[in-house]
Chain A
């Protein structure tokens, strides 16, 4: 490729370059979503042969089994079934629950909608609490590297990372609910509850989730900043004689945003896993608890829908992380 070709193919503006990169990443994200839906669909198509029997009970006759398979759509070829399924999901139709099938069917979408709203509420509170706290702590420990404060926070976060979520949840429950009586131990909320009451009931679950993800974000923030501090231009900054605070905030932080944005989004995605357990501990009526119940009763359409939602959110958050790191990359903003 000649020099003139190379220059003519390069987008002229920073905006053009960024748009092209983001567009490529979006395309990749869409492809991932497609593959994920395919994986979930194929896994669910692997339903063991005797599955209808185990749902309908041992007394199932061949006729009722056939009827069940027709109702679920197992008599249609897989490709056709996949296209129909994706089409329905796009319209918000996740099919009917197995458990309540029969005389009065319940649509999976109707079961999930209020639960999803509750989970989003919990996740939002947690994010609002955890992200600023973690970033602040990460920057502070990087500033005071190897100090007592740094070591203490480091040991503490290594400990909280290693703990199972339910241990943390029960410890907080025991302390704030059973011993101190400050907060309710059960987070049963209704759609009709006033906002403040909801907030009060969500405090313990949100606090548990916060403790879990703060440790990760804080450690990665610290590592990202320290990583930049080893670069030659940071040595230059030190030779110029500027203060450590200015070095970290003015020079290191802008170059560390990409990995930090990445880890924040990654941990918000991690909330998905944490949310399942925390919702069960505090009996919070969210989508995580719903999924666990559906797994126990082997209510496949509900499991499928929940998996798809969880995986979709996970993929989207990771996509957001990548786009954030593209946008925060100073090299992309000022192309040569």
Chain B
């Protein structure tokens, strides 16, 4: 009996590969596009033909061999700025989302674990903050503190952390009542140990898919703020502000200003396709938003 060869169990890598092979076309498309975006963001200085703020011609030059997508309202190369904007827009949204997950997630788990008045105070505070629409809150805060990159990241992260808090707390509440948490408590483990070693691993799967959705949301909010002129400030290239600054061209039937907007749309569509698929294979039932 002991001589029998063990049945072949597929390794984690093999199982993942099998899942990828069965992924629908929308998800594969999303993954390919996402990789392209990340490569563009990482290697922007190598890929871009000119500098981010380099004025290399007259304003609004048409598409040509030297300037693939023409020039913008100040005579900077449009293609180069679109490439640099990948780095700025995606990077800042990524930082804000990470920050919001670290703070919102931590507070959510601790709140669920502690319960009692601490949980009540935190939950009521978050409810109140969530009663104000995110974009409005961001506009209000930016008008007070001024639109710098650091302020933008902190404000957006704070707004988004309230949403993350809600979800993490809800998920963690289910985990907190499990026996193994009780066992860890009785063993005399500290709160930090319980949070990081017992609760966090069990709340991670739903949080990872949520990360994709929140990233889209944060990214769109920052683009919207930049579009409104209160997000990333010049000369930093950003897809949202590029659309606004070159919008006059649209009334002449020129599609160039729509390209940065299309870049935003394509990225969020790709992320959504991938998240949709992840939700399906992890069995999450989130339809709609």
Interface residues of A, Cβ cutoff 8 Å to B: 32, 35-36, 38-40, 43-44, 46-48, 51, 155, 158-159, 161-167, 170-171, 173-174, 177-179, 185, 216, 219-220, 222-223, 226, 263, 269-270, 272-273, 276-277, 280-281, 291-292, 294-296, 298-300, 303-304, 306-307, 310-311, 314-315, 318
Contact = CB atoms under 8 A, between A and B. Distances in A.
B47 interface: no
Interface of B: 26, 124, 127-129, 131-137, 139-145, 216, 220, 223-224, 227-230, 240, 243-244, 247, 250-253, 255, 257-258, 261-262, 264-265, 268-269, 271-273, 276, 287-289
Given A36-B128, A303-B139, A174 B240 contact: no
B230 A216 contact: no
B129 A311 contact: no
Instruction: Classify the interface of chain A: helix, strand, loop or mixed.
Output: helix
Given A163-B269, A222-B287, A295-B230, 6 more contacts: A43-B144, A164-B240, A173-B250, A276-B224, A292-B228, A296-B229
20 contacts: A32-B128, A35-B131, A39-B129, A40-B140, A43-B140, A43-B141, A44-B140, A158-B273, A164-B223, A170-B250, A222-B287, A223-B287, A272-B136, A276-B136, A292-B228, A295-B142, A298-B144, A303-B143, A307-B140, A314-B136
Nearest to B135: A273
Q: Which 6 A-B pairs have the closest CB atoms?
A: A223-B287, A167-B261, A162-B268, A35-B128, A295-B143, A162-B269
B220 A164 contact: yes
B288 A170 contact: no
A241 to B, nearest CB: 28
Contacts of B268: 162-164
Instruction: Classify the interface of chain B: helix, strand, loop or mixed.
Output: helix
B255 A273 contact: no
A155 B26 contact: yes
Contacts of A164: 220, 223-224, 227, 240, 261, 264-265, 268
Given A158-B273, A170-B257, A40 B264 contact: no
Contacts of A281: 247
Instruction: Name the residue in A220, A269, A295, A298 with the highest tally of chain B Cβ atoms < 10 Å from its Cβ.
Output: A295
